Amino acid sequence: MHELLLFASVPIHQHAELLQQLAGLTAMQPRHCYERRLIFKAYRKPGVANARVGASQDLQSGDLQRVNKMLNGGMFYTQVVGPIQSTDFADPSVTATANANPDPNPNASPLDPDTDTKMDGMDSDSNIPRSAYDFDQQSWQLEFRDIPEAGTRSAVTSRVMATAALPRGDIVPSMNAWGYSFVTEYLVEGDMFIHNDIVINLHRVLHYPTIPGEETQPRHQIPALQQMAPLEKSGSYVLQASMTVHDGSNQETMKTASQHLFGLREQLKSAVRLEMADRLSLDTRVK
Amino acid sequence: MADSFTLPLRPNLEKSDRPDTLPVEIAQINEQWGGFRDVNEEVLLAKIAEEEERGGPVESDEDGDKKDMDTTERREELYKRRAEITQFAMASHMETMFALDFVSLLLSKHAPRQAETSMSAFLKQVAPVGSLNSEVVHPPPKPDSVNKDISTVSRGWRIQNFNSAANKLLGAASRLEKEVEAETKYWSSVLAIKDKGWKVCRLPRERQSLGVQYGFMEATPAFRDRGLASLRRAKDGSLVLDQGLVPSGSRFVRVRVKRGSRITGCTKPPGASSNDADSIEQRILQARDSVFEDELFHELVREARAMASCGVTTRQNLIQIPVADDLEILLDLVDVNDESLHAEQDSSQDDVVLAGGVAHSIRILLSFAHRQNLHRRTQVPLPLTPKRRPNPEYHLLRPALAYLQHTSEARYLESFIRDIVSTLRSSGFQVPEFTAQMFSNWKLPHPRPSPNALEGLISSSLKPIESVFQGKLLTPNSSFTVRMRTNMSFPPFGTHYDVSFNLPSVPDLKSPGNLSLREEVEAAVAHLLLLDVVMNISSAQVEEKPTEPDTPAKRWWDPIYPHMGELLIAYDHPEKHKKMRIVLSRDQLSLETYLVRCIDGIGIGTAEGRSQHTETKTWNLQQSLGSPNQQSSAMDFVIAEAST
């Protein structure tokens, strides 16, 4: 599958207004979503021998060729994406009032209306509060994105993509078995809109508060949303309009898809400027 | 003299001197006479001669002179004229040059170098540069009387013009006032519409005018786009709803129920809900309703075409759906104000309710389809492929039709089972009551209302409908179950029956499996009950034994062919056996005993060699209803026959 993309940067003061505009354009309410994103890096396992043995005139069977290609092909970073709910975040009021009287905190976060998350409040060895988040039931999806195609004349970013569902729970052993090692993780917070065939994402990247020793594996608990810091210090958002095409070799559909994206760009022209991204900034190859 | 002085504000139209310009005339000549290329003297002369012949001597004098002249004279005339033209041009040139010299000489005092360039050589010789001057000359003062006259006249003029200007301003003010009033009225009514919750927006194609959106966002694009009308302002400021080319009359989908050839039920047109029928609010509501009804009928026709395999027929403006037996449902789109709608009075209350139910259900289902569209639209879309995704028909008629068919089939089956059970009871068999569980897969919604409960309720009604009939049989531990499902949404269509039973006394009996005809189900149930009766008779011996232990040789009925309802008492005589045949139908149970002469009595059909002498006993359904206990029971007959 192919993915066609356009991006725009949205400063924080424009965010609320743009949400309204997009809601009007797409005639739907924004769907607020949070995604955990784990970054894995492919590595070549030691001891994997080159399967090409013997004389070169030996005709390789199709399977062998494919295996060779997989083993010796380029290596990429991939992302493992897990959607989470707003109730999965820890309640900051729990730690704050853990030792005080249990009257409800009037300053409780509006994002955590669920009071069922008042548990493990006595966990005093760290000041990261706990929530009802169950890591073992977390669903995951593997997202592979190639480096965007070079030298396209069209003014959209297009790249090869693939997604696959993964088992729930702790994903690291499976990924290790496939030759991927965990690098880091971050959180994406944003709103999604659907406009005909275009998925519009208005999101920003959040970083977890750093705790030493937790970088080697994905977190089993999610800290409170207030403790997360945006990657972009000003808090600005990224608007991403994307469209997937089933068969990227079909010029006709690729053209249609980019026409649709250009149509959206025209419609949003007075609000934001959608443009293609720098190719090398979306490079996913392992170097 | 004009009575007022007005300033022309419009550009004055320049009137051309000649009515036609030269190109127009040339075009006209081309059109009338053909091209100029073929014109030469002979042709023109011939034409003139021709006209002369036809019209007589109507030539003007000039033409006559021309005719008299011969060519040399004409040439002279031509030369003379040319000389005149040249002379005239020369004279005008000279005059122009004089004027130029004069102006140059006058200017040469102030700008000698510049003026010198335009002076003629002759003038330079004759007159020195700068020898001519000009001065402003003050006219002699006019007498006072004249001055006074002039001032009076101009004052009069001024007063007149002020008056006229004042009138104009007052006119403009009153016009503006009217305009403001109209605008206020317009905008207040627009605001009133907005306050009632209608969506007011700019028209996409006509950015300067306002529109109101009353349509359904999730409808088919053709009808979604019709849900927008512009709000125009009439002269007096009242609001006009401009729907463009859409006909303004309100229509609705009428549902009629037809039994045989009579229309027995019909839905009424929706009455005007408010007495203020002409208000803008009412007109918007009416426009919304008619868009909805138009879309409903469009979708109904689309679905009806796909349902042609179920016997649904469509005409231009009529959908005919055969439901069951002689019941038929007719759908058409009619005008609300059509007087002929009220003519039919031949209706029954049940069918009016049925028609109303169908009418409501198709509307609810269309609204449900709209919600489903919204739901589908806001999902992450599938990857783009070159082939277009099909646009499936909505489920509007199919659930209604499935419900009606299922009800009809279930009622039929229920009455059949009740009848056959009553027939058996009339003959003295104590058949247990059966239970009918209609619409067993429809669950009541959650008591707690939630936004999705309604949609869940409706989507459960789109699933196949299931009803279950269960009953116990005469022989202990045996039972039967008929499970019927009606499904109109995906194949296999129609009602299907699944007959299952538990009859341990007949071990090798297999279930008939899926049946799709009601006659087959009837046959299966009747057969099952017949087997049950046969087994019940044959097993009754066990109960008899302890009562009469002193007769060990007592013979009893042996179910020789239970599937045919035949039982046998074998006697010692090889060619004389007693046979009983049981026939069970919906309204009759008959027991017949006769002697057969074939060996062991196992012959069947013509081979059984039956005697003429028969004993027959029948029990009918009608008797059982009237007097249940008048006749002797079947078991008595069986015992009596066994003992003789």
- Residue A60 contacts residue A68 (beta carbons within 8 Å): yes
Q: Residue B261: which region, alpha, beta or left (left: phi > 0; alpha: psi -120 to 50)?
A: alpha
Of A70-74, A160-164, B639-643, which has the strongest mean pLDDT? A160-164
pLDDT, position A43? 85
Structural domain total, chain B: 3
CB contact under 8 A, B384 and A31: no
Cα(B577)–Cα(B563) distance, rounded to whole angstroms?
A: 19
Q: Model confidence over A37-62: pLDDT tens digits?
A: 999 998 877 665 555 555 555 556 77
Could you give the angle at the alpha carbon of B255 between the alpha carbons of B249 and B256, nearest 5°? Answer: 125
- Residue B269 contacts residue B313 (beta carbons within 8 Å): no
**% residues pLDDT > 90 (chain A):** 35
Can you read off the two tokens belonging to residue B576? 């004389």
Nearest CB to A247 within list B378, B382, B385? B385
Cα(B262)–Cα(B256) distance, rounded to whole angstroms?
A: 10
CB contact under 8 A, B378 and A28: yes
pLDDT, position B149? 92
**Amino acid identity for residue A215 in this structure:** E
Q: In Å, how far from its chain's centre is CA A78?
A: 10
Nearest CB to B381 within list A1, A194, A250? A194
Can you read off the two tokens belonging to residue A54? 């013997």
pLDDT, position A112? 43
Please check whether residues B371 and B405 belong to one and the same domain.
no
Please check whether residues B426 and B539 belong to one and the same domain.
yes
Length of chain A in residues, anyone?
287
B145 touches chain A (CB under 8 A): no
Please check whether residues B371 and B404 belong to one and the same domain.
no
Nearest CB to B385 within list A28, A243, A253? A253
Residue in the block written with tokens 């005697």 = B611
Stretch A225-247: mean pLDDT: 90
Q: Model confidence over B42-64: pLDDT tens digits?
A: 888 888 888 888 876 544 545 55
Please check whether residues B459 and B585 belong to one and the same domain.
yes
- Residue A197 contacts residue A57 (beta carbons within 8 Å): no
Please check whether residues B206 and B71 belong to one and the same domain.
no
Q: B389: Cβ–Cβ under 8 A, 6 or more apart, which residues?
A: B382
Q: How confident is the model at residue B620 (pLDDT cuts 50, 70, 90)?
A: confident
- Residue B480 contacts residue B499 (beta carbons within 8 Å): yes
- Residue B335 contacts residue B249 (beta carbons within 8 Å): yes
| Exposed / middle / buried, residue B560 (Cβ in 10 Å: 0-12, 13-18, 19+) | buried
In a domain, B311, yes or no: yes
Q: How confident is the model at residue A265 (pLDDT cuts 50, 70, 90)?
A: very high
Q: B348: Cβ–Cβ under 8 A, 6 or more apart, which residues?
A: B264, B265
Please check whether residues B204 and B261 belong to one and the same domain.
yes
pLDDT, position A27? 87
CB contact under 8 A, B384 and A194: no
Q: Three-state DSSP class for B368?
A: helix
How many Å lie between the alpha carbon of A244 and the closest alpha carbon of chain B? 5
Asked if the model's pLDDT at residue B610 lies above 90, the reply is no
CB contact under 8 A, A253 and B384: yes
Asked if the model's pLDDT at residue B126 lies above 50, the reply is yes
Phi, psi of B159 (to 5 degrees): -60, -45
Chain A CB contacts of B380 under 8 Å are 192, 194, 199
| Exposed / middle / buried, residue B176 (Cβ in 10 Å: 0-12, 13-18, 19+) | exposed
Q: Model confidence over B25-44: pLDDT tens digits?
A: 788 888 877 777 777 788 88
Could you give the angle at the alpha carbon of A26 between the alpha carbons of A22 and A27, nearest 5°? Answer: 110
pLDDT, position B5? 57
pTM of the model: 0.70
CB contact under 8 A, A247 and B379: no
Cα(B160)–Cα(B27) distance, rounded to whole angstroms?
A: 51
Q: In Å, how far from its chain's centre is CA B265?
A: 23
pLDDT, position B544? 47
Q: Three-state DSSP class for B381?
A: coil
Q: In Å, how far from its chain's centre is CA B435?
A: 44
The last residue of one of the domains, among B126, B152, B181, is B126
CB contact under 8 A, B383 and A194: no
Q: Model confidence over A150-160: pLDDT tens digits?
A: 877 778 999 99
Of the two residues B279 and B48, the one the predictor is more confident about is B48
Cα(A225)–Cα(A187) distance, rounded to whole angstroms?
A: 10
Helix axes B397-426 and B280-306, enclosed angle (nearest 10): 60
- Interface test mutation site (partner A, options B384, B385, B387, B388, max chain A beta carbons within 10 A): B384
pLDDT, position B173? 95
- Residue B108 contacts residue B119 (beta carbons within 8 Å): yes
Please check whether residues B301 and B418 belong to one and the same domain.
no
Q: Model confidence over A89-147: pLDDT tens digits?
A: 887 765 544 444 444 444 444 444 444 444 444 444 445 555 678 888 899 999 999 99
pLDDT, position B421? 86
Asked if the model's pLDDT at residue B337 lies above 70, the reply is yes
Please tell me what DSSP assigns to residue B464: P
Asked if the model's pLDDT at residue B152 lies above 80, the reply is yes
Lowest mean pLDDT among A59-73, B166-180, B196-210: A59-73
Residue of A nearest to B386 (CA): A253
Cα(B297)–Cα(B299) distance, rounded to whole angstroms?
A: 5
A253 touches chain B (CB under 8 A): yes
Asked if the model's pLDDT at residue B177 lies above 70, the reply is yes
B385 touches chain A (CB under 8 A): yes
**Amino acid identity for residue B602 in this structure:** I
A–B CB contacts, 8 A cutoff, strictly below: 38
In a domain, B155, yes or no: no
- Interface test mutation site (partner B, options A2, A199, A244, max chain B beta carbons within 10 A): A244
The last residue of one of the domains, among B126, B154, B182, is B126
Give the residue among B343, B234, B383, B223 at the shortest CA–CA distance from B293.
B223
Pairing state between β A31-42 and B479-487: unpaired
Give the residue among B388, B384, B381 at the shortest CA–CA distance from A250.
B384
**Cα dihedral: A120, A125, A130, A134 (round 10):** -90
Computed over every residue of chain B, the mean pLDDT equals: 81
Please check whether residues B426 and B544 belong to one and the same domain.
yes
Length of chain B in residues, anyone?
644
Residue of A nearest to B217 (CA): A27
pLDDT, position B259? 87
Q: Model confidence over B543-602: pLDDT tens digits?
A: 444 444 444 446 677 787 888 888 887 776 666 778 888 888 888 888 888 877 776 666
How many Å lie between the alpha carbon of B158 and the closest alpha carbon of chain A? 55
In a domain, B570, yes or no: yes
Asked if the model's pLDDT at residue A85 lies above 80, the reply is yes
- Interface test mutation site (partner B, options A247, A252, A261, max chain B beta carbons within 10 A): A247
Stretch B420-433: mean pLDDT: 82
Chain A CB contacts of B384 under 8 Å are 197, 243-246, 253, 256-257
N- to C-terminal Cα separation, chain B: 144
B386 touches chain A (CB under 8 A): yes
Lowest mean pLDDT among A205-219, B219-233, B247-261: A205-219
Stretch B374-391: mean pLDDT: 84
In a domain, B262, yes or no: yes
SS3 content of chain B, % helix, strand, coil (to 5): 45, 20, 35
Q: How confident is the model at residue B4 (pLDDT cuts 50, 70, 90)?
A: low
Please tell me what DSSP assigns to residue B624: H
Q: How confident is the model at residue B438 (pLDDT cuts 50, 70, 90)?
A: confident
Of B497-501, B508-512, B625-629, which has the strongest mean pLDDT? B497-501
CB contact under 8 A, A244 and B374: no
Chain B CB contacts of A22 under 8 Å are none
Residue of A nearest to B381 (CA): A197
How many Å lie between the alpha carbon of A251 and the closest alpha carbon of chain B? 10
In a domain, B168, yes or no: no
Pairing state between β B262-266 and B251-259: antiparallel
pLDDT, position A125? 44
Pairing state between β B199-202 and A31-42: unpaired
Give the residue among B329, B297, B349 at the shortest CA–CA distance from B400.
B329
The domain made up of A2-46+62-95+112-282 is a member of CATH 2.40.320.10: yes
B376 touches chain A (CB under 8 A): no
Distances in Å between the alpha carbon of B563 and those of B468, B490, B539, B566, B621? Answer: 25, 37, 16, 8, 23
**% residues pLDDT > 90 (chain B):** 14
- Residue B47 contacts residue B38 (beta carbons within 8 Å): no
Cα(B231)–Cα(B387) distance, rounded to whole angstroms?
A: 40
| Exposed / middle / buried, residue A213 (Cβ in 10 Å: 0-12, 13-18, 19+) | exposed
ipTM for the whole complex: 0.75
A246 touches chain B (CB under 8 A): yes
Task: Give the number of other CB atoms < 10 A from CB of residue A111.
Answer: 16
CA-CA-CA-CA torsion sign (B48, B49, B50, B53): positive
Element counts in chain A: helices (H) and strands (E): 5, 9
pLDDT, position B495? 86
Please check whether residues B258 and B315 belong to one and the same domain.
yes
The last residue of one of the domains, among B126, B151, B170, is B126
Please check whether residues B460 and B499 belong to one and the same domain.
yes
SS3 content of chain A, % helix, strand, coil (to 5): 25, 30, 45
Can you read off the two tokens belonging to residue B525? 């149930």
Cα(B296)–Cα(B358) distance, rounded to whole angstroms?
A: 13
Asked if the model's pLDDT at residue B630 lies above 50, the reply is yes
Name the strand (E) or helix (H) holding B163.
Answer: helix B144-195
CB contact under 8 A, A197 and B217: no
Q: In Å, how far from its chain's centre is CA B367?
A: 14
CB contact under 8 A, B386 and A250: yes
Please check whether residues B252 and B365 belong to one and the same domain.
yes
Q: Three-state DSSP class for A248?
A: coil
Pairing state between β A2-10 and A237-245: antiparallel
pLDDT, position A48? 58
Chain B CB contacts of A25 under 8 Å are none
Give the residue among B376, B380, B383 at the shortest CA–CA distance from A193.
B380
Domain around B449: 399-643
CB contact under 8 A, A245 and B384: yes
Please check whether residues B286 and B413 belong to one and the same domain.
no
pLDDT, position B161? 94
Can you read off the two tokens belonging to residue A152? 């396209």
Assess whether the previous peptide bond of A209 is cis (omega < 30° from 0). no
Name the strand (E) or helix (H) holding B210.
Answer: strand B210-213
- Residue B253 contacts residue B293 (beta carbons within 8 Å): yes
Of the two residues B450 and B615, the one the predictor is more confident about is B615
CB contact under 8 A, A243 and B384: yes
Chain B CB contacts of A27 under 8 Å are 217
Cα(B392)–Cα(B572) distance, rounded to whole angstroms?
A: 74
pLDDT, position B83? 94
Can you read off the two tokens belonging to residue A21? 């505009």
